[in-house]
Amino acid sequence: MTIPTSPWGAPPAPSTPPDGALPSVPPPPSYSASPLVPPPPPLPTGKRKRPKWHWAAAGVAGLVAIGAIGAAASSEEAERVAAEDVGTVDEAPDGEARAEQVPTSEARTAPAPTTTAAPTTTAAPTTTAAPTTTAAPTTTTTMAPPVYAQYSGTGANVVDVPASSMPLVATIAHDGSSNFAVWLKDLNGQNIDLLVNEIGSYAGTSEISVANHDQVKGGAILVIEADGNWSVDMHPLIDQPVWTPSAPISGVGAQVLVVPGGVNAPTRVSISSDGSGNFAVWTTSTGGIFPRDLLVNEIGAYNGVHLISKGTFVVTIQADPGSNWVITPA
């Protein structure tokens, strides 16, 4: 049995839906079960009535378009948010591009603050000096010169000087407050030398039988004038301090210096003292019978240059206790 065709012709082919849209299915055409059914009357001219499937296809296309517009809007919103995170580029007044951070309307989680450790101060390294080894101090023991004769007493007195074949010196001390004088006399009571003449206390060394050895070697007498305690210790001349004229020497108070072998040639020396009393310097040489030479005889401080004769072997210094003196080559 042959089914007659529709008087309106074959239905149009369905249109291809846009990408992502569901294809529209047109409603099936209605067929008449009997060939005797007359065809429907023709449509009026002017407007053509569209089939229902066409409207369905238009609706689906509209939904698809709305979806595309929504997707595009979502994409633009995402790009705007990303631009807000990065910052918009604004035009600087001088025409240069300037990046400006645009605050976002959405709350963002600020990064947790980082804690920076405070700087530590490292002490500069100290240098410890290596321990030094200090040598133990040496103790120098000065041996007292042998005493040839020793005397002591209080107030005025007279003592004997024993006979001696060697020149002698005397270390004399006094603690009184009045005049203190010591005279050297021969056995006949004649004055040979005034050894000490000071006021108050005294301590010093004087020669006894050097220049006057011939007068004293057989014995002599010391006449002491004092108001306090005094002492006299006699020693051999060779036990006294030694001095070389080419080197400086210094001391305090009255002393006797020995020049071993004597001075080889006349020598210039500078002599000074800071005392306030009598200051005298005697030299004794081998020329003649122990001739003596008085180089200095002053009161108070002194400074001068003198000539020491050839052959001088003893220098006798008379000075106040506590006064400093110096002899140096000139």
What tens digit of pLDDT does each residue of 130-166 get?
555 554 444 434 455 567 889 999 999 999 999 988 8
Q: Please report, for the chain, the start and end positions of each structural domain, with discontinuous segments joined by +.
A: 146-239, 241-330
| DSSP output for 79-125 | HHHHHHHH-EEEE-TTS-EEEEPPPPSS---PPPPPPPPPPPPPPPP
Per-residue confidence band for 35, with pLDDT thresholds at 50, 70 and 90: very low
- Judged on CB neighbours under 10 Å (0-12, 13-18, 19+), 267 is middle
User: What's residue 165's pLDDT?
Assistant: 86
146-239 and 241-330 share one fold: yes
Q: Strand 278-285 vs strand 157-161: parallel, antiparallel, or unpaired?
A: unpaired
17-21, 167-171, 255-259, 270-274: segment of lowest average pLDDT: 17-21
| 42 compared with 207, residue with greater pLDDT | 207
Q: Strand 249-252 vs strand 157-161: parallel, antiparallel, or unpaired?
A: unpaired
Q: Return the number of other C-beta atoms located less than 10 Å from residue 235's C-beta.
A: 21
Type of residue at 295: L
pLDDT cut 70: percent of the chain above it = 55
* 3-state SS assignment for residue 282: strand
Contact 282, 308 (CB under 8 A): no
Distances (CA, A) of 227 to 36, 177, 293, 313: 192, 7, 32, 35
Q: Which CATH number fits domain 146-239: 2.60.120.380, 3.65.10.10, 1.20.1090.10, 2.160.10.10?
A: 2.60.120.380
Measured CA angle at 204 (ends 199, 209), to 5 deg: 110
Type of residue at 323: S
Please check whether the domain covering 241-330 is classified as CATH 3.40.50.150.
Answer: no
| 42 compared with 265, residue with greater pLDDT | 265
Which one-letter DSSP state was computed for residue 10? S
Q: How far, in Å, CA of 13 to CA of 20, rounded?
A: 20
- Tell me which range, 134-143, 199-208, 289-298, is most confidently predicted by mean pLDDT: 199-208
- Each residue's pLDDT tens digit, 92-119: 444 444 444 444 444 444 455 555 555 5
| DSSP output for 114-165 | PPPPPPPPPPPPPPPPPPP-PPPPPPP-PPPPPPSEEEEEESSEEEEEPP-S
Average pLDDT, the chain: 73
Q: How far, in Å, CA of 183 to CA of 161, rounded?
A: 12
22-26, 31-35, 195-199, 265-269: segment of lowest average pLDDT: 31-35
User: What's residue 124's pLDDT?
Assistant: 56
**pLDDT at 308 > cutoff 60:** yes
Q: Strand 157-161 vs strand 220-225: parallel, antiparallel, or unpaired?
A: antiparallel
pTM: 0.53
The tokens for 26 are: 């047109």
34-38, 146-150, 295-299, 323-327: segment of lowest average pLDDT: 34-38
Per-residue confidence band for 248, with pLDDT thresholds at 50, 70 and 90: very high
Per-residue confidence band for 120, with pLDDT thresholds at 50, 70 and 90: low
